[in-house]
Each structure stands twice: as structure tokens, then as C-alpha cells.
Amino acid sequence: MRILVTGGAGFVGSHVAEQLLERGHEVRIVDALLPTAHDGAPGFVPAAAELVVADLRDADVARAAVAGVDAVCHQASMVGLGADVGDLPDYVAHNDLATAQLLRALAEARFRGRLVLASSMVVYGEGRYACPEHGVVRPGPRAVADLEAGRFEPPCPACGRALEPRAVPEDAPPDPRNVYAATKLHQEHLCAALARERDGVHVTALRYHNVYGPRMPRDTPYAGVASIFRSALERGEAPQVFEDGAQVRDFVHVRDVARANMLALLGDEPATGAFNIASGTPRTVGDMARALAAALPGAPAPVVTGAFRRGDVRHVFAAPDRAREVLGFSARTGLEDGMAEFAHAVLRSPARRSG
């Protein structure tokens, strides 16, 4: 098959392209190589792939990108929190407008096949919680006064009691709490709209949890917490762990994420709807920092700072049952083994600085 991988020069996309080529498929990569994320074309783009450096926000680019393809893996996205209101137009343009152009081009080409979307666990907002008295509840955003006082756990919105964090299933109501999250949810809705309008289009939304591994971006607005901690350790500095380090996440290795894309793109039957792509073994941010430091002899131990960022969620981790039962996906790389590799892995070069 000929498969289009948008954002295929990026962190996850390059692993997807690589695994597709290993399985004997033709791969067309379309990537804008935004200077905020890339210092030119990275060396890890597979040589056997067709690389088109272009911006999907352009309708003609989108039409050329989808010409003759049998399936689409839509990884291209502007990532990060989008915490600054001034970033709104860029996030909407790169994530929503570009997706809309891609979908229109697919409709014009009378595309019939699988469209796999890279979505994110951020569409859930805060994770799932249960109160001993009121059952499953949805806490609101944490109050700054509580965070400043070191009260990091969200209370029950009905009685104020402590809550038990639980795994989030795919049918949990979405609650995007930043600009990036809102655009990812909108991407899901746009793709689902195409599938409803066009027979033969099958959409799979893979909601990635905290992805880490080789080729992760370094020192950019796109860097995740694992990359930030690794960069600190390389400078001989202790990783600075926010809050009390007990925030629960699900850290999933990038090769496992790429394999989930293979199952969605190439499985015997299309798997439609949303799927949590996660390790299924939630760990704390403190656990991750300690595992990473332990993989580097002589590295300083992480420091828990008590600092916080407004808009961060406390606990969010996945129920991976649907991905296992429908896609046949289970993660293979545990945190300690993954961090032992990540401590020495090649990361993406820093982006060019403007000014």
C-alpha cells in the first residue's frame, strides 16, 4: 500500500514511517518542518520514504499529498499546552485548518480507506476520580490558593472529601483544558464528520498518553517532561519535579505507539472510534524521574520543588482495555527498561531560535 504519513519527520511520525517501510509499504511523508520544532530536515527521516516539505494548510499541498494513497496516518500537529492566548491562531491553523484541508482533499479524491489520527489524552482534561460518597465525579480546575498551599489533590466538588484517581475509559466525557487539547478534540470531530459523510472511510483516533523515547524533541516548546528531565541530567543538574512528584501518568514508549498505528492501519478489519494508547501501568512523575536518573551513573537525584503550573492536571492515566480487545495492542516496554534506553538515546536537535 501507499500510505501518507503527515508529520512523518517528527517524533512519533518518523517511527511510524520506519515501521511501515519495514513491512514493505510505500510511504509519503508531508511535513512543514516548522522552525519552532525542527532545525532543518532531521537525519532520522527514512531514506526510502518520499519526503515532501510543505504545509498542509495550503489546499493544493493537501490535494497533492493525498493523490494515489491507500491510507492516511495523520500525525502532523502543533503540540504543547498553548497556554498563551496569543498562540490561539497558530494552534487552530496548524491543527484544525490543516486537518480540514486534508479532509477536504480526501473527499475530493473520493478516498476510501483508513484514516488514523494521532489524538491525545489531553482531550480528557483532569482524570477520572471517585468519591466514597458520591461515586464518579468531575472535579473542577484546582484553585491557585490550594496549589500555593501544597494541596495538590482535587477535592470532591460535592462534599470536598479526598478522591480516588481511576483509569479513564474512552467514553469519559471530554474536558479539554488548554488550547492544544481543544484543537485535538476538534480534529477528532472533524475526522468523524468525514467518516459519517463518506462511505468507505474508517477513522481511528489514537489517544496517546505520555509518549517518550528516541527522537523526542529536546529544548523546544514541544519537549515533554521526560525530555526536560533528561536535558537537566545531561547538564549535571537535578531534575526539578513539580508539585510533590505524586502526579500519576501513563508513560508509553514511542515504538509501542508506532506499533499501535500499525495495528490501526494494517489490521484485518478497520477499528473505528477512539482508543487509549498507553502502557496500562500508571506511574508517578517522581517514579519516572528516578528511573531516568538511575540509568545515568553519578547523576544527581531528582528534587521535588513544590512548584506548579496553572492548567496542569493532577492525575490522568488510561484504561487500555479497548485497545487490547479491538486493536490487539498491548505495550511491550516497561518504564525502567524504556528509561534505561532513553537516558542515552538520540534526541531531536534544538529548533532554531528567532531574533
CA gap 220, 173 in Å, rounded: 31
DSSP state of 338: H
CA gap 89, 335 in Å, rounded: 36
Q: How far is CA 23 from CA 118, 138, 215, 262, 348, in A?
A: 20, 43, 21, 9, 25
What pLDDT sits at residue 92? 93
What pLDDT sits at residue 353? 45
Question: CB of 239 within 8 A of CB of 233?
Answer: yes
| Catalytically annotated residues | 180
Q: Residue 203 CA to chain centroid, in angstroms? A: 17
Helix or strand or coil: residue 253? strand
Q: How far is CA 18 from CA 58, 90, 244, 251, in A?
A: 26, 29, 38, 22
What pLDDT sits at residue 115? 98
Question: CB of 250 within 8 A of CB of 280?
Answer: yes
What pLDDT sits at residue 220? 60
Cell of 164: 480516588
Question: CB of 239 within 8 A of CB of 224?
Answer: no
Name the stretches of the chain with pLDDT < 50. Answer: 353-355
Buried b or exposed e, range 32-62, using 16+ CB within 10 angstroms: bbeeebbeeebeebbeebebbebbbbeeebb
What pLDDT sits at residue 199? 95
Give the predicted TM-score (pTM) of the model: 0.94
- Spatial CA neighbour of 103 closest among 319, 111, 50: 111
Cell of 192: 468523524
